[in-house]
Structure 1
Amino acid sequence: METISHLNSAILSPTSPESSKLAASLICSLAMLDKNKAKFGVAGTIHSLVKAVSGPRGPAAHHLLSSLAELVLFHGNCTVAVRSGVVQVLIDVVESTDGEDLAGTSLAILGLLARFEEGLNALRKTDQIVSSMLEVLKGRSMLSKEGAAEILLRLFEESEGCVRDALRMPEFSSVLADLSVRGAGRAREKAVASDDNGRLGNAFSPTVEKEFPAPAVETSSSPILMENVFVPAYLNLEFD
């Protein structure tokens, strides 16, 4: 415990960014052993990491987030992290302009937290969570889009309120449709839902997906017909 206490102090040190970076890297490495995850949680490492991430962004930021991602794989640490206010801290990182890599990692951690009831409830209670994830889907980073889509899937499966919030947003369907066509593989899979795996389309309707022919895309030489794509039926709904 004494060693962990020293590491906790190091990651919170404002005068030695390099020490914080090394300490976070060591925590991440040690936490890869499952038996160590609980020890870090009991020793206050989760709280220290959340506090460090909430501060000014420094060279250790990515290492701090990586350590947090490894530790919250353990359910008990997820509970500690949520009680330490990690959800809002990570949302703040996502909404900042400090770097897409930090946002992507933060969204991945939020996705891990959402696997457990405590994390999902905290996300559901976060103000404007659906709107925040929509802004991510409108961005350029595919890693971030994948994380945001994963979070929305879990929210829609558990919260009718989040579904209603999404349906009130005029841009939501078009943004999701664009991601389902133009997104990278994993992000596209999460945007285009299928009945047998309980993804996004099922959160709106249990009906099957609707096939439609994709439009031709004009190029400088000749039109190229994109392959047929599948879009959830709810994307074709009209709203008042």
Structure 2
Amino acid sequence: MPSTQFYSRLPLLTDFRAISRAENFAPLPEDWHVVMSDVRNSTIAVQSGQYKNVNTVGAALITALLNAAGAIEIPFIFEGDGSTLCVPPELLEDARAALLQTRELAQRSFGLELRIATIPVADIAAAGSSIRVARFQVSVHYVQALFTGGGLAHAERLLKDPASAPRYAVVPGSVAPRGNFDGLECRWQDIPSPHGETVSVMVRALAGDSASVYRDLIA
């Protein structure tokens, strides 16, 4: 399987229960890179009423990098105060340029400071973590990337740890900022709960056979 087409050639999962089975996830190629953005002091920004700006900055990197990728499908997740994408080596320079452009957008338009980095998957594997990926078909028009293995959590620690961050940070001058934000929009419309309140439950298996924990939860 060509590395560039790795993600697009993964089978589509259509049964939600299938996401709890480890065999449905494939290891991300070690020549790929994790691309990350994270708004500094996002909790303070949200508490001060800037949650829409924080979310917009988080989505901006995804938009810029998907536009740069063109026909190359890449997995990504939106994290509210940032985003994480995984790219093949052919898109690494575009990713670094998009990170710098997104950081400029965050500073200029919203007064927000952004951590940005690219982390080789090979470094994550060398540290004993893994990134495994699957594709879940949410609807006819939308496919969601799914990650397991703990590698993205390790990448986030590398992004935020002052000891490791300089090694992976994308710094001004390393590449010219470049990014196309066409298609970026946030249609803010509150969705009232029929019961007055909507509660989201987040579960993370900490040890043991995490797949069986999630299977039991979904069941």
Same fold (TM over 0.5): no
TM-score when normalising by structure 2: 0.25
TM-score when normalising by structure 1: 0.23
More helix by share: 1
Could you say which structure has the greater relative contact order, defined with CA pairs below 8 angstroms and 6 or more residues apart? 2
If you compute each CA radius of gyration, which structure gives the higher value, 1 or 2?
A: 1
